[in-house]
Chains A and B, each alone.
Chain A
């Protein structure tokens, strides 16, 4: 149990376009989902925390108008990178937890975004 699926696994898009990444909890209800960004050979940087049905909480320095997060259901959160630029190219990973107080979050397999 506790499977989290991200889609797509990789995507290439043109500068100026928007890209949507989905994060689904397949066998549990995820009250809280986290979105991370990872640069090559670096750690995970938390971008935002979203709780189902409410607005996401963004970390300092993350542009909320550029990285739109929607958590409309207990099994789905989406991250939309708007007006993507090459510097947005990165590996994006989501994780899902049954609650904010849960002891464990489960990770998706990640999405490699390349903006050309």
Chain B
């Protein structure tokens, strides 16, 4: 079985400060890892993914994430937060050795204050 944990329900940062949204995962095979953002009453927008290669993955809107195999983590980061980054963020994992579904974390609400 695969699982994802987002330990923080809420993250608050001031505009211009760096932000981190945490994610840890568990999967038996090779992890495919994803970050999505969701705005109110909207679907999910893809931010970035890790499949293989460099552990540091750069994505949309200045976001990046670092894959850490030993810690089974895939934290989302941004050097300088914007108020418009305020949204709900989901981490997801898939077992890359098998076809099929992704498992999503419970989500983290990011609030960036001006």
Contacts and interface: CB of A to CB of B under 8 A. Distances in A.
Contacts of B107: 41-43
5 contacts: A43-B107, A100-B100, A101-B99, A109-B43, A110-B43
A112 interface: yes
Interface of A: 4, 6, 34, 41-44, 46, 49, 91, 93, 95, 99-101, 103-110, 112
A22 to B, nearest CB: 14
B19 to A, nearest CB: 20
Contacts of A49: 100-101
B43 A104 contact: no
Given A91-B41, A110-B43, A103 B32 contact: yes
If over half of B's interface residues share one DSSP class (helix, strand or loop), that class is named, otherwise mixed; here it is loop
Nearest to A6: B43
Interface of B: 32, 34, 36, 41-46, 49, 51, 90, 96, 99-102, 104-107, 109
Nearest to A44: B104
Contacts of B43: 4, 6, 93, 107-110
Nearest to B32: A103
A43 B90 contact: yes
Nearest to A106: B46
A59 to B, nearest CB: 8
B101 A46 contact: yes
A43 B44 CA distance: 11
Nearest to B91: A43
Contact of B42 (A34, A43, A101, A110): A110
